[in-house]
A = this chain, B = another copy of it.
């Protein structure tokens, strides 16, 4: 058994209260006693036990991260990894730890009473929650809204959907629109748009705006779920049909993860980029588009910064600071490269 505060106190010849004061710098202690305590702590290699501390303070200094959709979706890799990195950096600087929460298989199937993140919350395993990838029909939404009502410390990544709570977002609808607009300005009128299945609903508004402001543009959605996205054949067929036969001239890609396949499919069909097909993509990780040949034009979405921002906000909530803004919006940046051809 590791040494406890009593062992340290005994060796230093003081009371446990004095030791506690030193650990937490919660009160002044005379120099000689402080020195004795420090010596004893070194001697035992003492670290305060988190259960004892937690029992009194009811806080774990752990933050739960909940990504309802992360299982099996390729989409997630870059995006979620960047989010995680951003979150982790901030949390660890503030001495918080990050706990991964993922639904175990049973929840969705067996209709468990509680989603797992709720357990973490009520068992006080975590002091707050960071959430990404919430969708309309997530079975956890009920529980989620309840936490929102209780003003539990919690930040979600994505569009605001409730009057309470905090969120961090990059305006999916705005940059998807801007991508089409960018192609439009280069005189493209027939545009393929690749979106992820989970964004289908969200995209409807974008489509409306496109129809309204650029009525002469013809758009065609290419929707991928997590499996279809990894399939080259799927892309080959789409390119064959829409580019070669129906003469679409440009494509918007929802994430750089898919660029490799697109380029491969194009190569297979001997489609030249940008001459036969212009490409613009969303870039979640800085510089990704530069790695391809040709380098891909992109809207950069600062996912890392979003993760970091969310974590910052959350720490503010947890530590009870007054927070004025309930939303944190991130700007996307257009990066011009070599994959768009002006049709004039």
Q: Which residues of A contact B (CB under 8 A)?
A: 2, 45, 47-52, 54-55, 58, 60, 62, 71, 77-78, 81, 84-85, 88, 92-93, 97-105, 116, 119-120, 122-125, 230-232, 259-261, 263-265, 267-268, 287, 290-293, 295
Contact A291-B51, Cβ < 8 Å, known A100-B100, A267-B267: no
Nearest CB in chain B: distance from A259 CB, A: 7
- 12 inter-chain pairs at a CB distance below 8 angstroms, sorted by A residue, are A49-B55, A51-B54, A52-B55, A77-B78, A97-B99, A97-B101, A98-B100, A232-B291, A259-B260, A260-B263, A267-B267, A267-B293
A58 touches B51 (CB 8 A): yes
Cβ–Cβ < 8 Å partners of A264 in chain B: 263, 291-293
Cβ–Cβ < 8 Å partners of A122 in chain B: 2, 45, 47
| Interface of A (DSSP majority class) | helix
Residue of B with least CB distance to A260: B260
B124 touches A49 (CB 8 A): yes
Nearest CB in chain B: distance from A289 CB, A: 11
Nearest CB in chain B: distance from A78 CB, A: 7
For the complex of A and B, the 7 pairs showing the least CB-CB separation, nearest first, are A264-B293, A51-B54, A47-B122, A51-B55, A98-B100, A260-B260, A92-B104
